[in-house]
Structure 1
Amino acid sequence: MPRVLSLAAAAALLLGTAACGSSDSLEGQASDGGSGSADKGSVVVGGQDFTESQIMAAIYQKLLENEGYSVQTKLVTTRDVYLPELSKGSVDIVPDYLAGLTDFLNADANGPDAPLVSSNDADKTLAALEPLAKAKGISILPPSDATDQNAFFVTKEFAEKNDLTTLSDFAALGTPIKLGAPPDCEGRPDCEGGLTKTYGFTITSIVPLDFASAQVKDAVKSGEVQMGETGTTDGTLADLGLVLLEDDKGIQPAQNLTPAVNADFLSQNPDLQDVFNTLSSTLTTEDLAAMNVQVDLERKKPEDVAQQYLSDKGLL
């Protein structure tokens, strides 16, 4: 799932989604929180290094500093780097995506060909995740309603001309299409596999274009491809004359933003559960999209966007 989001210019979004392999190291990736009190000790916030995750890490940092912890952030590219560190306690807490985390731990425990245990049902996916995480020494706090799933877009002009609002509407046209998406889209149930088997699209080719990139958006606008892949929190589409089509048959698994915490750290700092539960109960998908736009289009710093969000929501 939402592999690692490849962010280009104004279109950097995550995906949430499941990360591909990497040999990146957490060493040398740390960023000091700076202003927090060290009265309660130190905390390391981990995660992936793309816009949305940068913002969420900054939000976590500021909440922790507000509680009296000294904070470092260590952002890398993929789950296979930071999850082992979270498991052994070198990282204490990460913002992650429900189905992506579930599928990663399931594959780690049961092999890469293990049947998927995530679905578009957040409660069922959480139930599948919890024992997998517990076996790795990781506690999962309640997910937020905010979600960043993979999604597919077309031009607004094409959607209006053909009265399209859903993927089913588009598939019903019966027109063969080219799809702009990363190469690993082929066969995936949340990408080419689901589009063809569940929706009935005829996809003549997958044009290899990075997820949510400026290139895939240009390709859709120019007609090189008829549909492209991005994330549901991509706030750049409207200004480009592009629109998302609703995944009305639910091929995308639940990618709710979910705090994952080292179990020993949480047992030693139980007060943090209420802090992050309050955040999760406040955060929405619209909030994520708005904050992404502020960083990607308005060129604000993630830490400034995080500070403003928390202040506006009365969380600091």
Structure 2
Amino acid sequence: MNELIQTFSERKGELLSAIFEHLAISLSALMIAIIIAIPLAILLSQHKKIAEVALQITSILQTIPSLALLGLLIPFVGIGTVPALIALVVYALLPIFQNTYIGLSEIDPSLEEAADAFGMSRMRKLFKVELPIAMPVIISGIRTALVLIIGTATLAALIGAGGLGTFILLGIDRNDPTLTLIGAVSAALLAIIFSGLIRFLQNRSMKTSLITFVILILGIGGIFVAQNTGSSQETITIAGKLGSEPDILINMYKDVIEDNDSDVNVELKTNFGKTSFLFSALENNQIDIYPEFTGTVLESLVKVPENSPTDLDENGTYQEANKLLQNQFKMELLKPMAYQNTYALAMRKSQADELGIKTISDLRNYEGTLKAGFTLEFIDRQDGYRGIQEKYNVNFNSVQSMEPALRYQAINNGDVDIVDAYSTDSEIKQYDLVPLEDDQHLFPYYQGAALLKESFAKDHPEVVKALNKLAGKITEDQMVDMNYQVNVEKKDPADVAHDFLVKEKIIKGDK
């Protein structure tokens, strides 16, 4: 409990900002869904067959898994708030449309006849008789939609839209249950509070309900806009993938850029998402810079010609990755840092010693008994499990897919026997794991470097100059130590990054 209170106290500013982001996304999606669903239901209330088709369509849309829907939207609208809003609107349509249609369809026919007898026009009958009678049922649908939206909106953090999901993802990644609990409880409380508010409005007049909704939207929206209104100077947006290491690196980028020019406004987007999300964001000008690895570029981001050399050294891997990025995407990978963050397979040291396993080839004798826990990305990569199957002829009977942080918890608990890892992961030290020797040399070189568009680099030479101060810096041991400070010792990534830069005399000592 003390740890929870301490975490809450340290991050209350971030939590308040995340709450307003969450509400802004959720309420905006709700209002858009209301504007679409209620008029559509009113229009189709007189056309039963078409209404049934519309109900089926909205039902089908709601069955699409949220992550799949977000992934489908990214190629068309990029990442960030827009795809999150679209997905949330899609999920909110069914309860609002369904309840509005049912509320209007089940009005006592005698009341309809009485309204006609009084000579009411279609619009007058709608607003004076039908909607007031159906309003409790309509509000109930809105209430269901809002609770659904607030819960689903936590996934918006996966594509850089912010909200309370950032706390949940950060807690999972850092193995910090307090952060996850704060994010989850806050989302649940928002759902309860706003569900109660809508329930209060359920038996109030239509006018009162509309005025309350408008005031709420304007209030939350106003605060959100005020929070995100920056200065008139240009903002450089730097994003990082999930994990402590990208978090440390983007804070280094920020520090070296600001040390070079104190007037530059740098905005960081931490735990922004997976590789494809960040690359799409960069391609669509939603971010300006993010840390990427040479091996990832060649394996996942560019189309490698069939005649390309396969036995490249570190420098050759960088040169090839940069050349293909420039040719295919007009992007530039700056000079890389020194350390390698390549893939590895890791086991508990005690189990590896007991079985006499030292290399990946040794796994062939135990593939039927060992259980593997790999990330989805590793399972699908040619320099991952696919390559292990082909090059090492190793096929585990049990392979579970899981999020990066969870695989370490799984091996520590004995749920799996072998996991994919990165050579700089602090968990290797923390959980007494041993990386197996890549004796067939499957894993390529992975050197980290800043990835940006050529146009941005051309327009910002001082930024490029500042970032290149990191070229050739940071050893593998130094990166492991910094990751350990963040993940195990719970230090702030910004402080860890700053302390390293000062110690190595890359920037001045004042922060």
**Could you say which TM-score interval applies, normalised by the shorter chain?**
0.7 to 0.9
1:78 to 264, 274, 287: 274
Q: Does 1:143 align with 2:344?
A: no
Q: Greater CA radius of gyration, 1 or 2?
A: 2
Matched-pair contact (CA < 8 Å) for 1:120–1:252: no
Compute the TM-score of the two structures, normalised by the length of structure 1.
0.75
Aligned to 1:154: 347
| Paired residue total | 284
Q: Does 1:249 align with 2:249?
A: no
Q: More helix per residue: 1 or 2?
A: 2
Distance 2:312 2:416 in 1: 27
Deviations 1:204-231 (A, max 9, x none): 1213333342xx3354355543312222
Compute the TM-score of the two structures, normalised by the length of structure 2.
0.49
Amino acid at match of 1:138: M
Quick one: structure 1 residues 292 and 129, their matched pair in 2 at CA, closer, same or farther if it must change by over 3 Å? same
2:470 to 279, 286, 299: 279
| Residue segments in structure 1 that go unaligned for 5+ positions in a row | 1-19, 31-37
Matched-pair contact (CA < 8 Å) for 1:154–1:227: yes
Matched-pair contact (CA < 8 Å) for 1:57–1:73: yes
Matched-pair contact (CA < 8 Å) for 2:408–2:427: no
Aligned runs of 1:125-136 on 2, under 5 Å? 125-134=317-326, 135-136=328-329
Q: More strand per residue: 1 or 2?
A: 1
Q: Does 1:105 align with 2:296?
A: no
Distance 1:144 1:65 in 2: 19
Matched-pair contact (CA < 8 Å) for 1:176–1:201: no
Quick one: structure 1 residues 120 and 235, their matched pair in 2 at CA, closer, same or farther if it must change by over 3 Å? farther
Distance 2:455 2:365 in 1: 52
Aligned to 1:193: 386
Matched-pair contact (CA < 8 Å) for 2:325–2:331: yes
Quick one: structure 1 residues 202 and 92, their matched pair in 2 at CA, closer, same or farther if it must change by over 3 Å? closer
| Residue segments in structure 2 that go unaligned for 5+ positions in a row | 1-69, 82-159, 164-230
Amino acid at match of 1:234: D
Matched-pair contact (CA < 8 Å) for 2:257–2:467: no
Moved more, 51-60 or 141-150: 141-150
Compute the displacement of 1:275 (Å). Answer: 2.9
Amino acid at match of 2:502: S
Compute the displacement of 1:29 (Å). Answer: 5.2
Compute the displacement of 1:51 (Å). Answer: 1.8
Moved more, 238-247 or 80-89: 80-89
1:165 to 358, 371, 394: 358
Moved more, 166-175 or 98-107: 166-175
Amino acid at match of 1:25: G
Quick one: structure 1 residues 153 and 67, their matched pair in 2 at CA, closer, same or farther if it must change by over 3 Å? same
Distance 2:367 2:269 in 1: 47
Q: Does 1:59 align with 2:252?
A: yes
Distance 2:477 2:238 in 1: 24
Question: How much identity, in percent, do the aligned residues show?
Answer: 21
Matched-pair contact (CA < 8 Å) for 2:369–2:397: yes
Deviations 1:126-176 (A, max 9, x none): 333224322423122122222222221111112223444322344466764
Distance 1:205 1:222 in 2: 16
Compute the displacement of 1:21 (Å). Answer: 4.6
Deviations 1:12-44 (A, max 9, x none): xxxxxxxx95744167559xxxxxxx9x95422
Matched-pair contact (CA < 8 Å) for 2:238–2:268: yes
- More relative contact order in 1 or in 2 (CA 8 Å, sep 6+)? 1
Compute the displacement of 1:74 (Å). Answer: 2.7
Moved more, 273-282 or 243-252: 273-282
| SS of aligned partner of 1:230 | strand
Aligned to 2:374: 181
| SS of aligned partner of 1:100 | helix
Quick one: structure 1 residues 158 and 21, their matched pair in 2 at CA, closer, same or farther if it must change by over 3 Å? same
Aligned to 2:189: none
